[in-house]
Chain A
Amino acid sequence: MSVKQKKLIYNLVTIGLVAAAWLIFTLLLNHDAGVPRKERILSSSMKDQLIPICCWIVMAVSLNLVVGISGELSLGHAGFMSIGAFTGIVVSGWLLNGFAVEDATLRLVLAMVAGGLTAGIAGVLIGIPVLRLRGDYLAIVTLAFGEIIKNVLNCVYVAADGRHLNLGFINNNIAGTMLLNGPNGAKVKTIATVNAGFILVLITLVIVLNLINSRSGRAIMAVRDNRIAAESMGVPVTKYKMMAFVTAATLAGMAGALYGLNFATLLPTKFSFNESINVLVFVVLGGIGNILGSVISATALTILPEKLRFLQNYRMLVYAVVLIVVMLATNNRTIRAWFNTLSERLRPGKREEAKSHE
């Protein structure tokens, strides 16, 4: 099998998996809608998790574009999510209050587009200074920007006064219906839907996978593999680093808008350094540069802490142990070999081919 075919299959599996999940959950949700609580297949906690899972998948895939494909360690990804979230909340509230847009789908779409755009613009502004740095320095500065975004949003007050948006910074004495209330966060009319979540995941996958397998994506990877060689081939390094960074920020902003519109209240402190690290854990656990891995690990690691609730106070301890065990296991040769033989056994037809390849 040639490399090209392998890549095509990998991409199709990734997108197919998400599409299948979408189909299955749509059917399950439809089934659950009309029956009494006892006969429902999806537990209500699982149902509530669907949209956050979609958001975290988009976060993980977009961060993988920066960390895995572009090769820069960014520790402030939750910052872009928070910009998207609060922009989305403001746009949605403004449309409802100022323009009486009752159509929730339209509001959601516009909120997500606005969230993506503002996060993308923030990505450009932050990228200009940050992408001049390399390695650890870049990581530290992105971390700082993530914190700055969080703290700035903690002081922003936005109110809709008819069609007019009033903005206050530290000063909460503004007229109109409060949309953003500084450290008290935002009261949100939740309009996020599972369908929007799955569509966003699919759009993200198509964008990221198509980008990787194009001229621009190859240039981004060339810069990662060998910066000087890429420059010598006439590849403008800053442009392509910026491309990866801003694309990731935009996608994170869209995920943020969806996430923000999924909860009745949202505090700016939600998007702290912890969340950035959490997304990074998804990426590292799923495999750096491995998009399908990010999708799977983001899903598994969002569900896992919920499933561990019965452990009460020991929950996060067990979560940490699970992470360490998975990391050790995936880097252990014996276990890897065991996985390989297992997957060969599952596909008897491939066995001969694999053997002859060795």
Chain B
Amino acid sequence: MSEQKRRSQTRMVPVPSESIVPERDLGKPPVLETHHLGIEFGGLKAVDDFNLTIGRTEIAGLIGPNGAGKTTVFNLLTKVYEPTQGTVMINGRDTKGMNITQASQLGVARTFQNIRLFSQMTVEENVRIGLHNQIKYDMFTGILRLPRYWKQERKQHTEALELLSIFDMQDLADVKAGSLPYGAQRRLEIVRALATNPCLLLLDEPAAGMNPHETSELMENIAKIRDRFQIAILLIEHDMSLVMGVCEGICVLNFGKVIAKGTADEIQNNPVVIEAYLGKRKEG
């Protein structure tokens, strides 16, 4: 498989913050850095001392058993939660005190584990919301239908269709988002996130509910998106064929702590990871 070949070609190199990035990204500032990131919910440490660096064009994976705190990490990175410890740096900027909207404007876009589309709106309108801060005009231009309104609306339309064509969804532009089949809804969430022109794309279980054929197609598309937009992608996934197939660096989380980091081969053979997933072999 070409995907696996690409992965084996990527050499991962360690960086000072106890993480690894692809060799090609070494000269560029990392897109995401977290230092000792942690959050407590009433004494429960959901995430503790989480350190991760992601390179400019890296595809990284975040895996771990159920309840390990993966989605909590995403919520910390997108400022749904304010961390109780540590820092999140996006594009070298500290996100302390920012809200979700400001984090998005810094270039973080995400999809959701439980799909959160604007279900009453059409597919195209969903993508247009993603373009909200890319192609702008103000309220009065819209109400008075000034020339700028028509110009920007046309621009939004072509841009939205072009983004939808990544997943061959341009024919569905006029369909209500809520009536799309499950797999298409997941793909639409990715398109909508891409429309915000991110530098870091967070995918929360993009292959959940997809059949093996759709999953392998998604895998190719993830690599395609990275190549085309030159962005970093961090994904949470339980489907190991996808994670091992497309991710360059993988971070394993258990009980809120990082238990292993490395390339796919390293993770697959790491005894701590195997224990976290399967339990310890009984002695004797």
Contact = CB atoms under 8 A, between A and B. Distances in A.
Interface string A206-232: 110011011111110110111011111
Contact of B174 (A2, A210, A230, A243): A2
Contacts of B101: 231, 234-237
B199 to A, nearest CB: 13
A243 B143 CA distance: 12
A3 B122 contact: yes
Contacts, number: 96
Interface string B104-129: 11000110100011111110010011
A320 interface: no
B99 to A, nearest CB: 7
Nearest to A229: B116
B55 interface: no
Contacts of A226: 116-119
A216 B112 contact: no
Contacts of B145: 210
B255 interface: no
B142 A210 contact: yes
B196 interface: yes
Contacts of A231: 99-101, 104
Given A211-B142, A214-B139, A234 B196 contact: yes
A312 to B, nearest CB: 44
Given A221-B121, A234-B132, A214 B142 contact: yes
B100 A228 contact: yes
A218 B129 contact: yes
Chain A residues touching B, range: 20 to 34
Contacts of B105: 234
Contacts of A228: 80, 100, 112, 116
A211 B142 CA distance: 6
Contacts of A214: 137, 139, 141-143, 149
Contacts of B119: 225-226
B151 to A, nearest CB: 12
B130 interface: yes
Contact of A225 (B80, B100, B118, B156): B118
B270 interface: no
A201 to B, nearest CB: 16
Contacts of B136: 215
B133 interface: yes
A67 to B, nearest CB: 14
A4 interface: yes
27 contacts: A3-B174, A207-B143, A210-B144, A211-B139, A213-B142, A214-B142, A214-B143, A214-B149, A215-B137, A215-B152, A219-B132, A221-B121, A222-B118, A222-B129, A226-B117, A226-B118, A228-B116, A229-B118, A230-B129, A231-B104, A232-B110, A233-B104, A233-B129, A233-B195, A234-B104, A235-B129, A235-B132
Closest 5 A-B residue pairs measured CB to CB?
A: A214-B142, A234-B104, A225-B118, A229-B116, A231-B100
Interface of B: 78, 80, 99-101, 104-105, 109-110, 112, 116-122, 125, 128-130, 132-133, 135-139, 141-145, 149, 152, 156, 174, 192-193, 195-196
